[in-house]
Amino acid sequence: MSKILNSIKKTYNKFLQNIAKENEKTFGNGKLDCCDLSKKNNK
């Protein structure tokens, strides 16, 4: 049972890391601010 849970945990962590990389590409590395996001979309 422990092996199955560890496998799920590793897969989930990999998924979260992939999302984090994509978010960094899209929004940058700084703090998200709704005003800044609106300015980027309006240009």
Q: Is 43's pLDDT higher than 60?
A: no
As for how many domains the chain has, the answer is 1
Indicate if the pLDDT at residue 34 is higher than 80: no
Taking the model in full, what pTM does it have? 0.63
The pLDDT of residue 20 is above 60: yes
Range of the domain at 16: 2-42
Q: Give 5-8 contacts, CB < 8 A, sequence gap 24+.
A: none
Q: Which residue has the higher pLDDT, 42 or 9?
A: 9
DSSP secondary structure of 1-43? -HHHHHHHHHHHHHHHHHHHHHHHHHH-SS---HHHHHHHHH-
Per the model's pLDDT, the better-predicted residue between 8 and 37 turns out to be: 8
pLDDT of residue 8: 96
